[in-house]
């Protein structure tokens, strides 16, 4: 099914120019461009992504409100670092699990940047307890992990986060077939997009289809001991 382009090269042009003129005077003079080419198209994308995301998993939130919704602010928090540039030179949206305020939970993230644009999902920087739960589930259900993260289909689309600890936690078998995964700091994966792809008429469908495939990306273990994957099930809702 054909779609329409949400973003144009003007988005990336604006962000590149903002990187060179990152000050309040320039931004105020160009605020209408920000709203026309960056903010409003992203809000429309979030609005149209919401029913598609809900059809895949009702547990994730896509909120198109301009303030307090999925779209992250372009304004940097200047309270603690007065010397930094006041504006971010990228735009992003987060689509959290509904339980994110209660516990660590998997989420989705879309990042648009002249340097690199990507869509990511899973657990990013989980706390130690959550990481241990996922690690225990990988040990207990190795075949499920293998199907989830080691398949050719998965590898052709997604790249797992590479940041790892230097050594295995106490009690983990160094000869385990997935020992390299047991030392991961994150259980998240991402896929990159070129500027041309972001500005393409099929970008919304690309993101949607990628998330359909991400339902095998590990999230958090469910109460029965299995992996609650990209379907968005929390420990309580699985």
CA distance 221 to 218: 8
pLDDT of residue 199: 98
CA distance 12 to 168: 42
pLDDT of residue 146: 86
Close Cβ partners of 191 (under 8 Å, ≥ 6 residues apart): 118, 119, 120, 157, 158, 159, 210
* Domains identified in the chain, total number: 1
pLDDT of residue 87: 96
CA distance 183 to 179: 7
In a domain, 97, yes or no: yes
Range of the domain at 43: 9-75+84-228
In a domain, 150, yes or no: yes
pLDDT of residue 40: 98
**Phi, psi of 33, rounded to the nearest 5 degrees:** -65, -40
In a domain, 235, yes or no: no
pTM: 0.84
In a domain, 191, yes or no: yes
pLDDT of residue 212: 66
In a domain, 238, yes or no: no
pLDDT of residue 92: 98
CA distance 17 to 9: 12
In a domain, 151, yes or no: yes
In a domain, 233, yes or no: no
- For residue 156, the domain's CATH number is 3.30.930
CA 76 from centroid of its chain's CA atoms:
20
Contact 52, 110 (CB under 8 A): no
In a domain, 201, yes or no: yes
pLDDT of residue 90: 97
* pLDDT profile of the chain (238 residues), mean per 10: 86 98 97 98 98 90 95 89 88 92 87 95 89 89 85 83 90 92 91 96 93 56 36 32
């Amino acid at each position: 099914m054909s779609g329409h382009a949400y973003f144009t090269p003007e988005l990336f042009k604006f962000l590149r120019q903002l990187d060179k003129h990152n000050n309040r005077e320039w931004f105020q003079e160009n605020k209408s461009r920000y709203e026309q080419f960056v903010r409003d198209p992203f809000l429309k994308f979030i609005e149209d992504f919401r029913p598609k995301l809900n059809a895949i998993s009702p547990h994730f939130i896509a909120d198109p409100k301009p303030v307090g919704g999925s779209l992250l602010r372009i304004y940097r928090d200047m309270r603690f670092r007065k010397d930094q540039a006041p504006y971010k030179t990228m735009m992003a949206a987060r689509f959290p699990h509904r339980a994110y305020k209660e516990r660590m939970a998997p989420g989705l993230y879309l990042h648009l940047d002249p340097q690199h644009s990507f869509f990511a999902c899973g657990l990013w920087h989980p706390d130690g307890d959550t990481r241990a739960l996922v690690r225990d589930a990988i040990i207990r259900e190795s075949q499920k992990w293998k199907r989830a993260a080691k398949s050719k289909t998965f590898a052709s689309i997604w790249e797992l986060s590479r940041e790892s600890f230097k050594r295995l936690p106490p009690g983990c078998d160094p000869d385990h077939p997935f020992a390299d995964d047991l030392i991961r700091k994150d259980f998240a994966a991402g896929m990159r997009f070129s500027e041309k792809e972001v500005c393409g008429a099929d970008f919304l469908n690309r993101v949607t289809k990628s998330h359909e495939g991400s339902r095998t990306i590990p999230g958090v273990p469910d109460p029965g001991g299995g992996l609650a994957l990209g379907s968005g099930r929390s420990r309580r809702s699985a």
